[in-house]
Amino acid sequence: MPELPEVEVVRRGLERAVVGRTIGAVTVAHPRAVRRHLPGGADFASRLAGRTITAARRRGKYLWLPLDDGDALLAHLGMSGQLLVRPTSAPDETHLRVRFTFTDDDDRAESTELRFVDQRTFGGLALAEGGAELPPVISHIARDPLDPEFDDAAFSAALRRRRTGLKRALLDQTLVSGVGNIYADEALWRAMLHYARPTETLKRGQVDAVLAGARTVMGAALEQGGTSFDALYVDVNGQSGYFDRTLEVYGRAGEPCRRCGTLIRREPFMNRSSHFCPHCQPRPRRGRW
């Protein structure tokens, strides 16, 4: 599943490749890909044709392309979705779901189009009415730690009020977005905190350490084009990212901690796994931190 850095890589690719362009024809090859647009695929296509894309924005793992009429094209990549800018002459991908041509291709050396490709079709596209600034359906999603407007002090206060386990809070999209399972484990190792640490016991400096850890690992992923644990993930031009050499705990169960040598442990957590160093990140005990 693409995590936030991959989605940001896609956003940057779209910013370069489609902003300022006017949509020509829209072809919905699979209705499931636009299931969140309730009036259906034909309505989706007719309302997007002729609109000019003015920006490429992101909130958490949602992307949206504001349009010149104040609406927006909203996208979620789900488990396996890709937004690809391809030469019009390139053969269709097996799992091509939606195709957008552009009207400005006469000025370009090579005609290109935007393709939404999704093998498992958990992702999807929708038209967000009046959603150019922020689509209403995603307004409940918190900003992510890489967002320049993320408020560290407000996050720290809200986290401590939540009275839950630390990792559970990090995965709560209404508190902070974009910190998936991998980045949560990596941030917690860097901050030397156990995943079950009760949030109300955290000091501001510890919350800052978690944020710093998240930013370090997410920023490194961004520089390298995303983590690409899912072989299906590729960026806007179809290039795979790579990242795994900078991971400290995720995928390293049974290998030595690079800080203390203790073997990294993996435990079940919310239908997934948590990876941590039992020495650097001791399990919290009542009254003793």
HSE (side-chain half, CA atoms, 13 Å) at 41: 16
Closest CA to 227 of 165, 273, 183, 272: 183
Minimum CB distance to Zn ion smaller for 90 or for 263 = 263
Minimum CB distance to Zn ion smaller for 97 or for 252 = 252
Minimum CB distance to Zn ion smaller for 217 or for 232 = 217
Q: Which stretch binds Zn ion (CB under 5 A): 18-26, 141-149, 205-213, 255-263?
A: 255-263
> Least distance (Å) from Zn ion to the CB of residue 249?
9
The position carrying tokens 């016991």 is 201
Q: Which long-range contacts link 268-271 to residues 24+ away (Cβ below 8 Å)?
A: 269/167, 269/195, 270/168, 270/171
Q: Rule CB under 5 A: choose which of 121, 230, 279, 282 binds Zn ion.
A: 279
> Least distance (Å) from Zn ion to the CB of residue 255?
11
DSSP 3-state of 157? helix
Q: Which stretch binds Zn ion (CB under 5 A): 108-116, 129-137, 166-174, 278-286?
A: 278-286
Site string for Zn ion, 258-277 (x = CB under 5 A): -xx-x--------------x
CA 86 – CA 42 distance, rounded (Å) = 23
Q: Write down the H helix ranges in 60-203.
A: 152-162, 166-170, 181-191
3 catalytic per annotation: yes
CA 168 – CA 35 distance, rounded (Å) = 30
Q: Write down the H helix ranges in 25-66.
A: 41-48
Tokens of 69: 């009429």
Angle at 43 between CA 117 and CA 95, to 5 degrees: 15
Minimum CB distance to Zn ion smaller for 78 or for 251 = 251
Minimum CB distance to Zn ion smaller for 183 or for 189 = 189
Q: Which amino acid is at 262?
A: T
87 catalytic per annotation: no
> Least distance (Å) from Zn ion to the CB of residue 281?
7
> Least distance (Å) from Zn ion to the CB of residue 275?
12
Query: Which residues pair with residue 269 across a beta bridge?
Result: 272
2 catalytic per annotation: yes
156, burial (CB in 10 Å: exposed 0-12, middle 13-18, buried 19+): buried
Decide if residue 160 touches Zn ion (CB under 5 A).
Answer: no
Q: Which amino acid is at 114?
A: L
CB neighbours (10 Å) of residue 101? 17
CA 69 – CA 111 distance, rounded (Å) = 25
Decide if residue 280 touches Zn ion (CB under 5 A).
Answer: yes
Q: Rule CB under 5 A: choose which of 257, 265, 269, 274 binds Zn ion.
A: 257
| Catalytic annotation, pick one of 21, 57, 59, 61 | 61
Size of the site for Zn ion (CB under 5 A): 7
| Catalytic annotation, pick one of 120, 204, 272, 283 | 272
Minimum CB distance to Zn ion smaller for 232 or for 249 = 249
> Least distance (Å) from Zn ion to the CB of residue 33?
44
- Binders of Zn ion among residues 173 to 212 (CB under 5 A) are none
272 catalytic per annotation: yes
> Least distance (Å) from Zn ion to the CB of residue 211?
21
Active-site residues, by number, are 2-3, 61, 272
Residues forming the site for Zn ion (CB under 5 A): 257, 259-260, 262, 277, 279-280
